[in-house]
Amino acid sequence: MYERILVPTDGSNVAEVAVDHAVDIAEKYGAEVHALFVADVDAVAYGLGTEQVDRIQQGNFSGMTDLREDAEEATGYVKEQAEARGLTVVERHAGGRPHDMIADYAEDHDIDLVVMGSHGRSGVRRALLGSVTERTLRSTHVPVLVVDYVAGDD
């Protein structure tokens, strides 16, 4: 049923809970796990020049140490959890509008299931879904499992 599972991650606690669910499902089905970190260019563009924004959109975070470290840490967690269970992992860092990048990645890589957190690093638990999660649900035809984080809310 599931051959390729996508886990968009920003490294937040709720994303890590989603990783646990994704890896568990992948193990049951012998699926490949795809870890995707998307730098939101709309959020970072204000303090950067056009050249830096272009590099981010291409997934090139060189010269942006904090962003590169965040991306590597977030997808590295997915890789660590999945490889511990003998699963194949594909890591990808990208820049753009997160919901568009997630939907495009899912379509381009024949993803069977997207597993993502209900909200990201917004710092506040919301009654409604996070904007990236909500927009992803509207942007893709791939099934999306939304995982919530309750204990110790961000």
Given this model, what pLDDT does residue 127 score? 40
pTM of the predicted model as reported, rounded to 2 decimal places:
0.84
Given this model, what pLDDT does residue 150 score? 63
Given this model, what pLDDT does residue 46 score? 52
Given this model, what pLDDT does residue 41 score? 74
Provide block-wise average pLDDT over 10 residues at a time, the chain (154 residues).
Answer: 96 92 98 94 60 62 72 95 97 92 97 88 46 90 88 49
Question: Domain 4-147 belongs to what topology?
Answer: Rossmann fold (3.40.50)
Q: What is the DSSP string of 109-143?
A: TT-SEEEEESS-TTSS--SSPPHHHHHHHHH-SS-
Domain ranges for the chain, please list them: 4-147
